[in-house]
Structure 1
Amino acid sequence: MKFFRKSPFSSIFMKIVLTFLGVLAPLYALNLYMNEYGQNTVREEIVQSMNTKVELYVNLIESDIQRVIKLIVPYVNDEDLMKLSTASAIMSDIERTDAILALKNKLNLVKTSSSFVHNVIAFIPELDRTVTSNDDAINYFDEEQFNALSVITNRYESPFIMWHDRLFISVPYPDPSAYGGRKPVFLLTVEISKPALRSAMRQFTNNGETAVLSGNRPRYFITSNNGSEEAELAVSKLMESSDSSDPGGQNAASDRQIQKSVTMNGEQHLVIAKSSSMLDSTLSIFMPEDKIFGPINRYRWLMLMLTLSSVVIIVFFALSIYRIIQRPMRTLVRSFNKVEQGNLNLVVQYPLKDEFGFLFDRFNAMVRELNVLVHEVYEHKYRVRLAELRQLQSQINPHFLYNSFFILHRMAKLHDNENIIRFTKYLGEYFQFITRDGMEEMALEMEVKYARTYTDIQAFRFGSRIHTEFGELPKGTEQLHVPRLILQPLIENAYNHGLENKLKDGWIRVSFELQGDTLVIAVEDNGDELDESTLYSLRMRLLAAEESAESTGLFNVHRRVQIKYGQGCGLTLLAGESGGLRAELRLLLHREENGDANVPVVDRG
Structure 2
Amino acid sequence: MRGTMRRIYNIPIFPKLIITFLIITMPLFTLSLVMNELGKQEVKSQISNSITMNIHYYFISLEKELERIIRTQQQFINDEDLLQLSNSLSIMTDYQRAKAINDLKNKLTTLKDSSAYIKDISLFVTSLNDTISTSSGGEAPRSLEEAEQIAKATYSSGIPITFWQGRLFLNLTYPNNQMKQDKSPLFIQNIEFSMEALTNALNSFPQDGGAIFFNDNWVIANNKYPERLADIRAKIVEPTQQSALFTKQVSVGKENYMVIYEKSMFLQASLLFYFPENIIIGQLKTYGVWFRMLVISSFIIVILFSYGIYLLIHRPLQSLVRRFRSVEGGNLATVLTSNRGDEFGYIINRFERTVLSLKTLIDELYVQKIRLQQSELKQLQMQITPHFLYNSFFILHRLIKHGENETAELVSKNLGDYFHYITRNGLEEVPFEHEVNHVRSYVEIQNIRFSNRIIVEFEPFPESFRGIMIPRLILQPLVENAYEHGLSDIMSEGRLQIRFATDSDRYYFSVEDSGASLTEERMAEMIAKLSLENEIETTGLINIHRRLKLKYGERGGLEMMHSALGGLLVRIYIPNEKENSDVSPINRR
Give the structure-2-normalised TM-score: 0.52
Q: Residues 417, 30 of structure 1: CA spacing in aligned structure 2 closer, same or farther, 3 A cutoff?
A: same
In 1, distance between residues paired with 2:42 and 2:497? Answer: 83
Aligned-pair identity in percent equals 34
Which residue of the partner structure matches residue 556 of structure 1? 543
Q: Match for residue 414 of structure 1?
A: 402
Q: Which residue of 2 aligns with 1:588?
A: 574
Partner in structure 2 of residue 188 of structure 1 = none
When residues 553 and 34 of structure 1 are mapped into structure 2, their CA distance, relative to the original with a 3 A threshold, is: closer
Please list, as runs of the form range in 1=range in 2, the aligned pairs for 1:314-333 lying within 5 A after superposition. 314-333=302-321
2:451 aligns with 463
Asked if structure 1 preserves the Cα contact closer than 8 Å seen for 2:255 and 2:276, the reply is: no
Kindly indicate whether the alpha-carbon contact (under 8 Å) linking 2:256 and 2:277 is maintained by their aligned counterparts in 1: yes
Aligned-residue RMSD, C-alpha: 5.9
| Cα distance per residue 1:264-308 (max 9 Å; x no partner) | 9x89999xxxxxxxxxxxxxxx99989x99987567535633552
Post-superposition shift, 1:30? 5.4
Distance 1:538 1:34 in 2: 64
Contact 1:519–1:589 (CA under 8 A) maintained in structure 2: yes
CA contact (8 A) 1:440 1:484 kept: yes
Counterpart residue number, 1:32: 35
Equivalent residue number for residue 130 of structure 1: none
Whole-angstrom CA distance in 1 between matches of 2:310 and 2:498: 61
Structure-2 residue corresponding to 1:570: 557
Match in the other structure for 2:56: none
C-alpha distance in 1 between matches for 2:487 and 2:400: 24
CA shift, 1:486, in A, is 1.6
Distance in structure 2 (CA, Å) of the matches to 1:341 and 1:323: 27
Distance 1:242 1:463 in 2: 83
Kindly provide the CA deviation profile for residues 47-76 of structure 1, in whole angstroms up to 9, marking residues without a partner as x.
x9xxxxxxxxxxxxxxxxxxxxxxxxxxxx
Deviation at 1:477, TM superposition (A): 2.9
Cross-structure match for 1:440 = 428
Distance 1:357 1:555, change over 3 A: closer
Q: 1:240 to 1:375 in 2, by over 3 A?
A: closer
Structure 1 residue 35: deviation in Å? 10
Match of 2:386 among 398, 403, 407: 398
- Determine helix, strand or coil for the equivalent of 2:452: helix
Deviates more, 1:463-472 or 1:387-396: 463-472
Q: Which SS does the other structure have where 2:466 is aligned?
A: coil
Question: 2:500 matched to 1:512?
Answer: yes
Aligned length: 404
Q: State the 1:369 CA deviation.
A: 3.6
Residue correspondence of structure 1 range 290-305 to structure 2 within 5 A = 301=289, 304-305=292-293
Q: Shift of residue 451 of structure 1?
A: 0.7
Aligned partners of 2:238 and 2:569: how far apart in 1? 76
Matches within 5 A, 1:266-415: 301=289, 304-305=292-293, 307-348=295-336, 355-415=343-403
Unaligned runs of 5+ in 2: 1-12, 52-117, 120-136, 144-209, 211-217, 242-248, 259-274, 584-589
Instruction: Classify 1:294/1:339 alpha carbon distance in 2 versus 1 (closer, same or farther; 3 Å).
Output: same
Q: Is residue 604 of structure 1 aligned with residue 543 of structure 2?
A: no
After superposition, the C-alpha distances for 1:476-534 in whole angstroms (9 at most, x for unaligned) are 23333222212211212222333334343333221233455344433233345967776
- Distance 1:23-1:341 versus aligned 2 partners, 3 A rule: farther
TM-score, with normalisation over the residues of structure 1? 0.51
Q: Assess, with a 3 A threshold, how the Cα gap between structure 1 residues 377 and 236 changes in structure 2: closer, same or farther.
A: same
Aligned residue runs from structure 1 range 24-173, under 5 A:
31-33=34-36
User: Residue 600 and residue 556 in structure 1: after superposition, are their counterparts in 2 closer, same or farther (change >3 A)?
Assistant: farther
Is the alpha carbon distance of 1:483 and 1:294 closer, same or farther for their aligned partners in structure 2, counting shifts above 3 Å?
same
Q: Determine helix, strand or coil for the equivalent of 1:585.
A: strand
Inter-partner Cα distance in structure 1 for 2:142 and 2:520: 108
Match status 1:450 vs 2:428: no
2:573 alignment partner AA = L
1:27 is displaced (CA, Å) by 7.5
Per the alignment, do residues 360 and 413 of structure 1 end up closer, same or farther by CA in structure 2, a change over 3 Å counting? same
**Structure 1, residues 399-433: CA drift from partner, whole Å, max 9, x if none?**
22333333333334334433333222222222222
Q: Distance in 2 between matches of 1:406 and 1:545?
A: 36
CA distance in 2: counterparts of 1:244 and 1:504, whole angstroms: 74
Classify the secondary structure of the residue corresponding to 1:463: coil
Give the distance between the partners of 2:348 and 2:527, measured in 1 at CA.
Answer: 51
Return closer, same or farther for 1:540/1:35 CA change in 2, 3 Å cut-off: closer
Whichever residue aligns with residue 315 of structure 2, its letter is R
Maintained 8 Å contact 2:28/2:298: no
Comparing 24-33 with 500-509, greater Cα deviation is found at: 24-33
C-alpha distance in 2 between matches for 1:243 and 1:535: 65
> Is the contact made by 2:400 and 2:408 (CA closer than 8 Å) also made in structure 1?
yes
Q: What displacement does 1:338 show?
A: 4.1
The secondary structure found in structure 1 opposite 2:297 is helix
What is the match of residue 488 of structure 2?
500
Distance in 2 (CA, whole Å) between partners of 1:394 and 1:243 is 84
Separation in 2, partners of 1:579, 1:289: 77
Consecutive unaligned residues in structure 1, runs of 5 or more: 1-10, 49-155, 158-173, 181-211, 224-230, 248-259, 271-285, 591-598
| Cα shift readout 1:226-269 (whole Å, capped 9, x = no counterpart) | xxxxx98458868999999999xxxxxxxxxxxx99989x8999
Aligned residues of 1:39 and 1:296 also touching (Cα < 8 A): no
Q: Residue 513 of structure 1: SS of its match in structure 2?
A: strand
Query: Aligned AA for 1:339?
Result: V
More contact order relative to length (CA 8 Å, sep ≥ 6): 2
Structure 2 distance, partners of 1:468, 1:486, is 19
CA distance in structure 1 between the partners assigned to 2:364 and 2:532 by the alignment: 29
Q: Give the counterpart of 1:429 among 387, 394, 417.
A: 417
